[in-house]
Amino acid sequence: MNSSEYIKELEKELLDLSYEERKNAIDYYKEYFQDVPKEDEEEDIKRLGNPKELAENIKKEKSIFKNSSDDTIDESKNLNQKSKKNKAHNIALIVLLILTSIIWLPILISILIILLSVLLCVVVVILCIPICGIAALASSFYIMMYQPFSALFNLGVGIFLIGITIIGFIPLCKGIKSLILLIGSGVKKIYKKIF
Amino acid sequence: MQIQINSGLLEAIVLNATEKEPVYGYKITQNILENISISESTLYPVLRRLEKNKNLTSYNKEYMGRNRKYYEITDSGRELLKEYKSAWIEYRKQIDNALSINEEEIENEQQ
C-alpha cells in the first residue's frame, strides 16, 4: 500500500466523523506523508498501523474532544440533568414546530423549489456544452461539401466544446461530491442542534 | 517489556516537542521518536486535543509550493507543561519507592 492508497482507506474509515474533523485528520496525514522521505514511506506506513487501527485511535479521541472536563463524575451528573431538561425543551420545540407549520411549511417548500430550479438551470446549461459540441461537429461534416469555411468553423467549435467537457468532467464530479458531503454534514448539524 | 504511556504523559511529551519553536507534524514525530518509541498513530489525536483545548495554536506556512501546518505552544500550554513536569517528578518518586528502586543497587547488579 502506498501513501495515497493509505489516505483513501483512512478517509473511508473516518466517514462517521464530522466533515471538519475528517478534513483536519486527512489534511494532517496528507501533509505528513509529503514530509516522509520516499525511501522511508513503506516503513512509516507500517509503523502507523493499518488505516482501520489509526481511525480507531482518532475516533477514541473524538469523545474526549466533546467533554474536556477533568471531573468525570461531576460531568456525568451534569449531563443527566441537562438531558432531562433538554427532553422537556425538545418536546415543547417540536409542538411549536408543528403548530407553526402552516406558516413556515409553504415558505420552506417554495424556497426548496426555487433552489431546485436554479440547480436544474445550472445542470441544463452544463449539459448543453457537450450536446452543442457534438451537434457542431456533426453539422460540420454535413455541410463540408457546400460551405467548407463554415464547416471548418463548426468543426473548431465542436472540438473546442468537447475538449471543455473532457477537461471539466473530473473537477465537476469532485465539486459535486464535496457539495453533497457539505450539504450532508450541514443537515446533520441542524438535526443535532434540534434533537 | 515496555510500560504503556498514558495520554497525559503523551500530552506532556508533545508539548515539550513544541516548546522551543513552532514545528510541523512530521518533525514533531521525528523529534519524539529520537528519544522514545511510541505508536505514531496516537500522536495526531493528542495534537488535535491540545489544539482544541488551546494549549497549542496552529498556522499554515508555504513550503516548496505546498502547505505545512505549524504548531505553536500557547501560554496555557507552557503552564500545562510545567504542571506535567512537576507532577511527573512527584510520580516518579512514588513509583521508585513503591518498587523499592535504588538506582545504585541495580547498576551494581548489572556489573
Distance (Å) of CA A22 to CA A55, A66, A76, A139, B58: 10, 15, 27, 49, 17
What is the helix (H) or strand (E) element at residue B67, kind and residue range?
strand B66-73
- What the block records as the C-alpha cell of A68 is 474536556
A24 contacts in chain B (CB < 8 Å): 48
Minimum-distance CB partner of A31 among B25, B40, B53 = B25
A54 to B41: CB separation less than 8 angstroms, yes or no: yes
pTM for the full model? 0.53
Chain B nearest C-alpha distance from A154 (Å): 41
A28 to B25: CB separation less than 8 angstroms, yes or no: yes
Tell me what the mean pLDDT of segment A153-158 comes to.
93
Q: What is the pLDDT of residues B13-70, one digit of tens each?
A: 999 999 999 999 899 998 998 888 888 888 898 999 899 889 999 999 888 888 899 9
B49 to A61: CB separation less than 8 angstroms, yes or no: yes
Are the CB atoms for A60 and A49 separated by under 8 Å?
no
Beta-strand relationship, B66-73 and B56-63: antiparallel
Burial of A140 (0-12, 13-18, 19+ CB in 10 A): buried
pLDDT confidence of A63, banded at 50, 70, 90? low
- Rounded Cα distance between B107 and B110, Å, is 5
A58 contacts in chain B (CB < 8 Å): 44-45, 48
- What the block records as the C-alpha cell of A6 is 493509505
A35 contacts in chain B (CB < 8 Å): 24-27, 68
Average pLDDT, chain A: 84
Q: What is the pLDDT of residues A33-48, one digit of tens each?
A: 888 888 888 888 888 8
B41 contacts in chain A (CB < 8 Å): 48-49, 53-54, 57
For the ranges A22-36, A64-78, A137-151, which has the lowest average pLDDT?
A64-78
Write down the ipTM of this complex.
Answer: 0.83
- Rounded Cα distance between A62 and B53, Å, is 13
Does the structure show a pLDDT above 60 at A78?
no
